[in-house]
């Protein structure tokens, strides 16, 4: 048919993968097989999803809870686990005070309970492991980025991968024991917030050949701040992907 219309504008960020509409449209029962505390405010929920079609690091799903009278609440959560063939996936949730869905999962849900999920969704924030990636995350925004790091390790990839993760204190740092040389942690209560100096070693002369694909994830405030720092540091806007948790 006609060639697709490409707007005459700058900064275009292409999607990374095309998404299966089948897996995106079907709700599936997911069995909670494990609940692990990560920090005082965050826990990881391991789910057995019999018909999980696989995912790429960076993708998210939608989780749904249903009350006896049919009332439903649904929220998006990033996949924390690397793609594997275990038939199980992991999510890591912050306990939002007063939060309807995260509150239920943190205070009521137990191993053996069923919830419903659909996904994986959205190919935009996915990282197939093909290009050098510079990851910036804050709080639970590190969840999809950790999936990328786990994938990188599991698959033995050599493509450059760097993570800068921001948390208030070390106790608030999700997955603290799992980070390696690829990670710089910025503990904001002690050091103040992420600044240009944290990015400087990786931008300009510090870039890998062909430059980085940058992935930014967290609250909107963090996403605005971190993406500005990247742009000011010379990272092209069309090589910055942002996932905002709201």
Ligand X SMILES: Cc1cc2nc3c(=O)[nH]c(=O)nc-3n(C[C@H](O)[C@H](O)[C@H](O)COP(=O)(O)OP(=O)(O)OC[C@H]3O[C@@H](n4cnc5c(N)ncnc54)[C@H](O)[C@@H]3O)c2cc1C
Give contact residues for ligand X (rule: CB under 6 A).
60, 75-78, 92-94, 96-103, 140, 143, 243, 245-246
Residue burial 162-171, b: 16+ Cβ < 10 Å; e: rest? bbbbbbeeee
DSSP per residue over 65-126, as a string? EE-TTS-EEEEEEE--SPP-SSSEEEEEEE--TT-HHHHHHHHT--TT-EEEEEEEE-STT-
Residues 194-233 that bind other proteins (CB under 8 A): 220, 223-224, 227-228, 230-231
* Residue 220 contact, options other proteins, ligand X, none, Cβ 5-8 Å cut-off depending on partner type: other proteins
* Residue 114 contact, options ligand X, other proteins, none, Cβ 5-8 Å cut-off depending on partner type: other proteins
Return d(Cα 206, Cα 45) in angstroms, integer: 37
Q: Could you tell me the sign of the dihedral formed by the alpha carbons of 206, 212, 218, 219, in that order?
A: positive
Using CB under 8 A, pick the residue from 40, 70, 97, 156 that binds other proteins: 70
Least distance from C-beta 63 to ligand X, angstroms? 8
Question: Which CB sits closer to ligand X, 90 or 213?
Answer: 90
* Residue 94 contact, options other proteins, ligand X, none, Cβ 5-8 Å cut-off depending on partner type: ligand X
* Residue 239 contact, options other proteins, ligand X, none, Cβ 5-8 Å cut-off depending on partner type: none
């Amino acid at each position: 048919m006609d060639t697709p219309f490409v707007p005459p504008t700058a900064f275009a960020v292409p999607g990374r993968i095309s998404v299966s509409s089948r897996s995106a449209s079907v709700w599936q029962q997911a069995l909670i097989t494990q609940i692990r505390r990560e920090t005082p405010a965050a826990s990881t929920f391991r789910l057995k999803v019999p018909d999980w079609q696989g995912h790429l690091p960076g993708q998210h799903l939608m989780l749904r809870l249903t009350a006896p009278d049919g009332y439903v609440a649904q929220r998006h959560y990033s996949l924390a686990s690397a793609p594997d063939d275990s038939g199980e996936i992991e999510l890591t949730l912050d306990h939002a005070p007063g939060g309807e869905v995260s509150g239920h999962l943190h205070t009521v849900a137990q191993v053996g309970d069923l919830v419903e999920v659909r996904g994986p969704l959205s190919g935009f924030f996915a990282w197939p492991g093909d290009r050098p990636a510079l990851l910036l995350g804050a709080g639970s925004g590190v969840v999809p980025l950790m999936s990328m790091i786990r994938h990188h390790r599991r698959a033995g990839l050599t493509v450059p991968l760097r993570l800068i993760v921001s948390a208030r204190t070390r106790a608030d740092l999700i997955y603290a024991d799992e980070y390696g040389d690829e990670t710089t942690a910025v503990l904001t209560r002690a050091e103040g917030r992420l600044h240009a100096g944290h990015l400087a070693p990786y931008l300009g002369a510090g870039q890998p050949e062909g430059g980085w694909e940058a992935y930014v994830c967290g609250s909107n405030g963090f996403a605005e701040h971190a993406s500005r720092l990247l742009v000011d540091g010379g990272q092209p806007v069309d090589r910055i992907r942002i996932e905002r948790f709201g």
